[in-house]
Structures are given as structure tokens and as C-alpha cells.
């Protein structure tokens, strides 16, 4: 390559920078594969029921008001029923008052107490090579209403029609419902119907319950299929929620985190208690509170595996330039005294082998899981580069040093990928340590090399200055 160690270091640095090209290509392939996986998960989840968000039970009570208007109409003769006209033939008008009943904005009433228990059983669905976690949730709601807050929402002449009140429960999608949904009060069942035409884009069920003041405590039981997540709105004046599941890796989401949780190999149990002062929702009001309830007053669980192997593979491609540079530095330091140093093409082949490592890991991880795939890909890459160093680079006993470093590098990379919290700490420490070792090993290096100390350089230094 070059006889000057300085130029060799610069050349190897340029070769390492060129490795950004294959690493970016690999990163793009990993992202495409991850997108395909996400699309499959979304498709299976949607077919099964999708993410479920429950809110309500919300009682909607119609309100009307009698309004008297001053009207003007043509006067009619009481005998002939003909329109009266003046001397010029123009119709004669008369004033009269008309009282009409007009519909006003309904009253929306949330329960005073809301206790929710959810039992979630998970399973896995397969589509092609992908595995998607889905669940079936059995939910029971117990609640009752306090009509006291309603009076403050009514105008002086408005009339509320308690007997026409309807109870609504909103969910992610109606097609996720399984079995019979049951609503009863004191042992008396109340009929349920789907919300017509997904009113205002909201799916759910509705019951014509009549006057809620006479209902007492109500119980709603329903079973739904779902995927990815399940959440409920904290809509009661006091809301208590308990979720039990056999899922061992829950991710708690929403506005409110659980007060307590117990996670074990058998599953988890989580409990929430949310008072009305903790949420920006009125107990009774004249505007639909559901958009706020579903966006700013939720609590739930995500059923997804964080930091999956696509994310790990993408991070591995991001860290790839660091490990390729370390390998190049090691080869350069090991053969800096060699008569036949490594040629640029040989560096490029080593770098490409390390770039392909990420693709190999992803391809096998889709079949056998991340841990086994990483071990297989790392072992194959380390053996390939080690054998290449022994046969093509003629490293001899130095091959053991290169193989040991590669084993250490891929061991550290595994720890970085498994622990996202400490990835930056481990990566930066490794880079600093590699730079420190390189600086120490090359502290006495003659960077000018023979090109600066040869006969040509000596003659140039000894030549007399040219005359002015």
C-alpha cells in the first residue's frame, strides 16, 4: 500500500469511511423488513379486533325548550277565508305569537362511581414467518349515576327528558365483540344495540335505559378480541380499574400509570384509582366529553415486545462503523511491521463481511429468534475474518490476537443491543479505549517512514540553496 505509516493510517481511515455506504444500504434493508413486519402486525391486529379503548358509560339525556316568537302573517276573513286587502289591493298583515318546542344540546352525564375489572388472555397468531400477540378480554363494569350535577347545566326554561335517556359505551371497534354483551340493573336485563353508523366516528353500544335516577347500580359484561393494547377512560367521579393477564411483559400506557402492579412469569396484575380532580372532565355538561376522555384521561396496557430484533439490527448497523474501524485499526497495528502489509481491497473485504453480519443476523432472527441468530451470525463473521487473516494476510500467530479482539467486539455489541439504557455508555467507552490503545501503541511510531528518511530526502536536505 504505502511505505509511510502516516499515509497508511490515513488510507485506512478513508477505507473505513467508505464502509458507510454498505452500512447505510444494510440499514435501509433492515428498515424495509421492519416496515413489512409492522404492516403484517397491523393487518393481523385489525382482523382480530385491533387496539381497544373503552370509554363511558355515558348517559345522554335529551333537552328541549319552549320558545315564543312574534310572527307576522296575512290576515284572513273569518267568513270567506279570503285574504284581507287594503284600499290599494295590498294584503293586510297581522301580528301573532307562536310557541314552539325546540331541541337543545343534550346533557351528558358520567357515572358517580365506576369499577372496572378486566381479565385478559393472550395468544399468538402467525402469518408467514411473523408472530403477532393478540388477546381476548373479559370486562365487567359496575357503576351508578348521581343526578345532582345535572340541574346546574340547565337553562331556566329548559326541560330535561329523563325518560328518553340513553346509555352509551364506546370501544375501539364493534366487530371485536364476542359472545353476548349483558347490561342489567338489579337482575333486570336491559337491551343493547350498536351505535348507529359509528356516530361521530365512535364505535360502541347503546341502551335506552330511561330515567337513570331510578336504575340504581348497573352491571355491564362484555368480551372483546383485541391486539397491541387495551385501555379505558377514567370517566367516573371515582374510577377504579384492575387488569389481570397472563402477559409477562406489560407496558403501561395512558395518562395515568397504575398505583400498584405485580409482574411475574405467570403474568401481571395492575390496579388504578383515579379521582375526579385528577382529570379535566365534568360529571355533567352540555358538550360531548368523549374526545377529551379518550385522549387525556386514559389508562391501559400495551401488549407488545419492546426493543425487538429489527430495532436491535438497526442499532447494530448504526454501531457498525465503530466496529469496522476497530477491526481496521487492529489489522493495521498488527501488520504495521509486515513486509507485505494488507492491501486496500483486503480491508474492504473485511469491512463488507462485517456489514453483511447485520443482514445475516436479521435473516436468521426471523426464523430462530434474536439470541441464536446473533450467536450464529457473530460466530460465522469472526471465523471468516480470522481465517482470512491467517490465509490471505499471513498473520500467523497474530491471527489469535485479531480473533480474540473480534470475539470481544461482538460480545460487547451483544450487550449494547440487549441493554438500550447503557448502549451509549458502552459504545463511547469502547471507542475511547480503542483510541487510547492506538495512541499508546503508536507513541514511538515514525510517521514519516522511509519516504521521508531515504536517500532522496537526505540529498535534498544536503543540497546547497539556490542562488538568488
Tell me how many domains the chain contains: 2
Q: What percent of the chain lies above the pLDDT cut of 90? A: 12
Q: Which of 302, 326, 353 is the last residue of a domain?
A: 302
pLDDT(455) > 50: no
Residues 347 and 199 in one domain: no
**Region 384-400: what's the mean pLDDT?**
81
The last residue of a domain, from among 302, 330, 345: 302
Residues 207 and 352 in one domain: no
The rounded Cα 432 to chain-centroid distance in angstroms is: 34
Asked if residue 46 belongs to a domain, the reply is no
pLDDT at 270 over 90: yes
What pLDDT score was predicted for residue 410?
Answer: 80
Residue 76 has pLDDT above 70, yes or no: yes
Confirm if 298 and 232 have CB atoms less than 8 A apart: yes
pLDDT exceeds cutoff 50 at 28? yes
- For the stretch 347-370, pLDDT in tens is 788 888 888 888 788 878 777 877
The pLDDT, as a whole number, for residue 118 is 93
pLDDT above 80: residue 310: no
Residue 112: exposure state from Cβ atoms within 10 A (0-12, 13-18, ≥19):
middle
Co-location of 226 and 267 in the same domain: yes
Give the angle 286-289-293 at the CA atoms, nearest 5°. 165
The answer on pLDDT for 209 being more than 80 is: yes
Residues 47 and 173 sit within 8 Å (Cβ to Cβ) = no
Q: 453: which 3 cell numbers?
A: 528518511
- Mean pLDDT comparison of 3-7, 124-128, 185-189, 266-270, highest-scoring range: 266-270
279 and 152 part of one domain: yes
In a domain, 249, yes or no: yes
Residue 458: inside a domain? no
Q: What angle do CA 254, 205, 275 make, to 5 degrees?
A: 35
Q: Is 363 exposed, middle or buried (0-12, 13-18, 19+ CB in 10 A)?
A: middle
pLDDT tier for residue 254 given thresholds of 50, 70 and 90: confident
Residues 6+ apart with CB under 8 A from 156: none
Pick from 21-25, 125-129, 300-304, 427-431 the range whose average pLDDT is largest. 300-304
Which of 260, 280, 302 represents a domain boundary (last residue)? Answer: 302
At residue 199, does pLDDT exceed 60?
Answer: no
Exposed, middle or buried, 436 (CB in 10 Å: 0-12/13-18/19+)?
exposed
In this structure, are 19 and 55 located in the same domain? Answer: no
pLDDT at 421 over 70: no
Q: Taking 50 as the threshold, does the pLDDT of residue 456 lie above it?
A: no
Confirm if 223 and 136 have CB atoms less than 8 A apart.
yes
Q: Do the Cβ atoms of 122 and 133 come closer than 8 Å?
A: yes
206: its cell numbers: 347503546
Domain-embedded: residue 386: yes
Say whether 248 sits in a helix, a strand or coil.
Answer: coil
**Looking at the structure, do residues 312 and 298 belong to the same domain, yes or no?**
no
User: Between vectors from CA 303 to CA 299 and to CA 305, what angle results, nearest 5°?
Assistant: 130
Q: Distance between CA 235 and CA 55 in Å, rounded?
A: 7
Same domain, 284 and 139: yes
Q: Confirm whether 81 is domain-assigned.
A: no
What DSSP string describes 4-71? Answer: SHHHHHHHHHHHHHHTHHHHHHHHHHHHHHHHHHHHHHHHHHHHHT--EEEEEEEEEEEEEEEEEEEE
Residues 147, 272: one domain? Answer: yes
**For residues 311-337, average pLDDT:** 74
Residue 304 DSSP SS3: coil
Q: What pLDDT shows up at residue 240?
A: 94
Q: 9 or 18: which carries more pLDDT confidence?
A: 18
Residue 20 sits in the same domain as residue 113: no
Q: Please say if the pLDDT value at position 411 is more than 90.
A: no
Selection from 28-37, 64-73, 408-417 with the highest mean pLDDT: 64-73
Query: Distance from CA of residue 8 to its chain's centroid?
Result: 47
Mean pLDDT along residues 382-399? 82
C-alpha cell at 22: 454498505
Residue 120 confidence (pLDDT): 92
Query: Of the ranges 122-126, 253-257, 424-428, 437-441, which is most confident?
Result: 253-257
pLDDT at residue 454, as a whole number: 44
Range 413-435 average pLDDT:
69
Domain that holds residue 197: 51-62+105-302
Does residue 89 sit within a domain?
A: no
At residue 457, the pLDDT reads 43
- Are 357 and 446 members of one domain? yes
The predicted structure's pLDDT at residue 154: 85
Which DSSP category does 302 fall into?
E
**pLDDT at residue 17, as a whole number:** 80
Least confident of 100-114, 139-153, 219-233, 345-359: 345-359
User: How many Å apart are CA 51 and CA 253, to the nearest integer?
Assistant: 12
Measured in residues, the chain has a length of: 468
Residue 157: inside a domain, yes or no?
yes
DSSP 93-121: EEEEEEEEEEEEEEEEE--SEEEEEEEEE
pLDDT of 126: 73
State the residue for C-alpha cell 519516504: 451
Instruction: Specify whether 312 is located in the same domain as 294.
Output: no
For residue 57, is the peptide bond before it cis, meaning its omega torsion is within 30 degrees of 0? yes
Lowest mean pLDDT: which of 97-101, 221-225, 262-266, 443-447? Answer: 443-447
> CATH number of the domain that 268 lies in?
2.60.40
pLDDT digit string, tens, across residues 133-177? 888 999 999 998 888 888 888 888 888 898 889 999 988 888 888
Give yes or no: residues 117 and 248 share one domain. yes
Do residues 358 and 370 lie in contact, with contact meaning Cβ atoms separated by under 8 Å?
no
Residue 182, classed as helix, strand or coil, is strand
Answer yes or no: is 341 within a domain: yes
pLDDT at 81 over 80: no
Amino acid at each position: 500500500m504505502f511505505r509511510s505509516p502516516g499515509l497508511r493510517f490515513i488510507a485506512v481511515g478513508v477505507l473505513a469511511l467508505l464502509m458507510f455506504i454498505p452500512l447505510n444500504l444494510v440499514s435501509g434493508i433492515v428498515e424495509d423488513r421492519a416496515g413489512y413486519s409492522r404492516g403484517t402486525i397491523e393487518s393481523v391486529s385489525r382482523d382480530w379486533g385491533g387496539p381497544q379503548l373503552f370509554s363511558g358509560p355515558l348517559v345522554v339525556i335529551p333537552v328541549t325548550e319552549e320558545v315564543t316568537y312574534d310572527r307576522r302573517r296575512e290576515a284572513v276573513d273569518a267568513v270567506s277565508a279570503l285574504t284581507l286587502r287594503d284600499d290599494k289591493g295590498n294584503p293586510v298583515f297581522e301580528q301573532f305569537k307562536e310557541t314552539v318546542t325546540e331541541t337543545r344540546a343534550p346533557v351528558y352525564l358520567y357515572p358517580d362511581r365506576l369499577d372496572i375489572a378486566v381479565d385478559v388472555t393472550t395468544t399468538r397468531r402467525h402469518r408467514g414467518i411473523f408472530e403477532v400477540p393478540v388477546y381476548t378480554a373479559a370486562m365487567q363494569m359496575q357503576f351508578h349515576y348521581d343526578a345532582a350535577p345535572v340541574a346546574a347545566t340547565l337553562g331556566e326554561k329548559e326541560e330535561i327528558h329523563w325518560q328518553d335517556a340513553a346509555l352509551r359505551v364506546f370501544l375501539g371497534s364493534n366487530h371485536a365483540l364476542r359472545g353476548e354483551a349483558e347490561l342489567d340493573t338489579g337482575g333486570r336485563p336491559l337491551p343493547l344495540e350498536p351505535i348507529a353508523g359509528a356516530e361521530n366516528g365512535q364505535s360502541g353500544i347503546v341502551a335506552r335505559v330511561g330515567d337513570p335516577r331510578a336504575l340504581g347500580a348497573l352491571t355491564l359484561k362484555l368480551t372483546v378480541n383485541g391486539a397491541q393494547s387495551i385501555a379505558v377512560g377514567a370517566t367516573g367521579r371515582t374510577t377504579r380499574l384492575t387488569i389481570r393477564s397472563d402477559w409477562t411483559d406489560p407496558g403501561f400506557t395512558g395518562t395515568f400509570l397504575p398505583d400498584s402492579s405485580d409482574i411475574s412469569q405467570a403474568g401481571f396484575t395492575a390496579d388504578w384509582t383515579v379521582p375526579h380532580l385528577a382529570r379535566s372532565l365534568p360529571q355533567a355538561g352540555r358538550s360531548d366529553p368523549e374526545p377529551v376522555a379518550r385522549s387525556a384521561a386514559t389508562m391501559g396496557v400495551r401488549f407488545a415486545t419492546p426493543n425487538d430484533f429489527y430495532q436491535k439490527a438497526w442499532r447494530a448497523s448504526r454501531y457498525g462503523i465503530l466496529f469496522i474501524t476497530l477491526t481496521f485499526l487492529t489489522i493495521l497495528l498488527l501488520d504495521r511491521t509486515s513486509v507485505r502489509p494488507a492491501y486496500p481491497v483486503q480491508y474492504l473485504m473485511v469491512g463488507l463481511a462485517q456489514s453483511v453480519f447485520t443482514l445475516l443476523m436479521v435473516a436468521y432472527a426471523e426464523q430462530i429468534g434474536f439470541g441464536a441468530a446473533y450467536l450464529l451470525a457473530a460466530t460465522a463473521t469472526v471465523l471468516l475474518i480470522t481465517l482470512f487473516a491467517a490465509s490471505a494476510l499471513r498473520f500467523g500467530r497474530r491471527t489469535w490476537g485479531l480473533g480474540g479482539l473480534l470475539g470481544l467486539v461482538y460480545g460487547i455489541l451483544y450487550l449494547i443491543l440487549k441493554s438500550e439504557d447503557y448502549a451509549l455508555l458502552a459504545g463511547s467507552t469502547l471507542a475511547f479505549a480503542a483510541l487510547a490503545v492506538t495512541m499508546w501503541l503508536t507513541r514511538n511510531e515514525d510517521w514519516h517512514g522511509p519516504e521521508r528518511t531515504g536517500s532522496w530526502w537526505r540529498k535534498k536536505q544536503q543540497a546547497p540553496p539556490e542562488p538568488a
